[in-house]
Amino acid sequence: MSDITVNTPLTSGSEHRAAPISAIGPVAWLRENLFSGWLSTAVTLVLGYLIIRAVMGFVDWAFINAIWSVPLNANGVAQTQACRELHGSGACWAVVTEKHRFMLFGTYPYEQHWRPAVVCLLFIGLFIVSAMRRFWNWTLIPIWMVTLTAIGMLMWGGVFGLPFVQQERWGGLPITLILSTFGLAFAFPLSILVALGRRSNLPAIKVLCVVYVELIRGVPLISLLFMASVMFPLFLPEGMNIDKLLRAQIAIILFAGAYLAEVVRAGLQSLPKGQYEAADAMGLSYWQKTGFIILPQALRMVIPPLVNTFIGFFKDTSLVLIIGIFDLLTAGKTAIVEPAWQGFGVEVYIFVGLIYLVFCFAMSKYSQGLEADLNRHRRR
């Protein structure tokens, strides 16, 4: 028999493989996403031109041609003729320079403005401490209690030689921080209880939670604030009155709790059934299973919608205008009621919007880092 030799290629199919990527980094990203073809290049150039023109126009309006201060006449009234002569070609930041204390602190006594300023710093410090994972234990509770007690004493006064200031004089940024912080701090545990109640096997608890969520989510926040301010006092005994700010706070807590409960319930439903069965197989009680196994996993999965809801309610505090509470946005609107400053609302709204942007952006960035940290094990 003769030998049969079969010639086989050394590499099979290697000629069909794509060429390796020769460029990486920013240049490769630009080439792939912005200049991948003639149409993509044309769109990129047009949009780039429009963006540059818009940025140059804003810089020219906001900085180059802007007026930062105006003189006062003998009566202490601002002379805004220089601002009005700009005819929109430059910003009049003098309105912010002149009215920033009113926008930040409302009608709080001028000589006592250091008190709401310290309150704002205490809130920011409380947020920073609460964001540190080293304080995620029982030591955080006394920190909250001490800080909130100090905030109440500073705002009301009447102790340690501080003059008493009625709640009607409060306004500006402290009101926004008080309503949003207390509202979300109390609404979040309420939402967890309601979400667990909606999944309860006890019919009475389940029906009560369903009615609460559907009733609150079925009406706008303005209607709840109106009822808390106008109708609720009608049901109180004669001579009894509850502070208007407290009534608004309760309405915000109930409203936020209903929306957050649905977010938490979505996280509970997303867990596989095997997690519940494994916890039951270990002989854990209901509260042990919920606190140590179910809730930690459920809350990790719904961090983005939770923070999205937090940001929404932080901005929704501006609706307390309907019941006569001067929050940050309302104080900004009131600052330009004075005839000398009418017509400069854009500058005021930009200033107020930047404050909202700082707080909302901080919450968003922190949530991204927290989500990545808590879900790091999923990428392994």
Residue 22 has pLDDT above 50, yes or no: yes
Q: What is the share, in percent, of the chain residues with pLDDT greater than 90?
A: 62
| Residues 347 and 63 sit within 8 Å (Cβ to Cβ) | no
Q: Are residues 126 and 193 in the same domain?
A: no
- Assess if residue 96 is contained within a domain: no
- Assess if residue 113 is contained within a domain: yes
Tell me the residue type at 48. Answer: G
Q: Which two tokens stand for residue 356?
A: 């909202």
Residue 10 has pLDDT above 90, yes or no: no
Residue 4 has pLDDT above 60, yes or no: no
Q: How many residues does the chain have?
A: 380
- Assess if residue 306 is contained within a domain: yes
Predicted confidence band of residue 137 (pLDDT cuts 50, 70, 90): confident
Q: Are residues 255 and 146 in the same domain?
A: no
Q: Are residues 143 and 211 in the same domain?
A: no
Q: Are residues 155 and 263 in the same domain?
A: no
If one counts every other C-beta atom within 10 angstroms of the C-beta of residue 299, the result is 17
Specify the residue for token string 């006569």.
324
The enclosing H or E element of 177 equals: helix 173-198
Q: What is the mean pLDDT of residues 205-221?
A: 94
| Structure confidence by residue, pLDDT tens digits, 38-71 | 999 999 999 999 999 999 999 999 999 999 988 8
Predicted confidence band of residue 186 (pLDDT cuts 50, 70, 90): very high
- Assess if residue 309 is contained within a domain: yes
If one counts every other C-beta atom within 10 angstroms of the C-beta of residue 145, the result is 10
Q: Are residues 308 and 186 in the same domain?
A: yes
Q: Are residues 126 and 157 in the same domain?
A: yes
Residue 215 has pLDDT above 80, yes or no: yes
Q: Are residues 321 and 185 in the same domain?
A: yes
- Assess if residue 330 is contained within a domain: no
Q: What is the mean pLDDT of residues 287-306?
A: 92
Q: Are residues 233 and 310 in the same domain?
A: yes
If one counts every other C-beta atom within 10 angstroms of the C-beta of residue 364, the result is 14
DSSP 164: P
Q: What is the mean pLDDT of residues 222-241?
A: 83
Model pLDDT, residue 78: 77
Model pLDDT, residue 87: 63
Q: What is the share, in percent, of the chain residues with pLDDT greater than 70?
A: 92
Q: Are residues 211 and 312 in the same domain?
A: yes
Model pLDDT, residue 70: 85
| Structure confidence by residue, pLDDT tens digits, 245-293 | 999 999 999 999 999 999 999 999 999 989 889 988 989 998 999 999 9
Q: What is the mean pLDDT of residues 17-37?
A: 75
Closest CA to 377 of 308, 304, 307, 300: 300
The tally of domains found in the chain comes to 2
Residue 1 has pLDDT above 50, yes or no: no
Burial of 21 (0-12, 13-18, 19+ CB in 10 A): exposed
- In this structure, what CATH number is given to the domain that contains residue 273? 1.10.3720.10
Domain with 125, as residue range(s), is 109-164
Question: Taking all residues of the chain, what is their mean pLDDT, rounded to a whole number?
Answer: 88
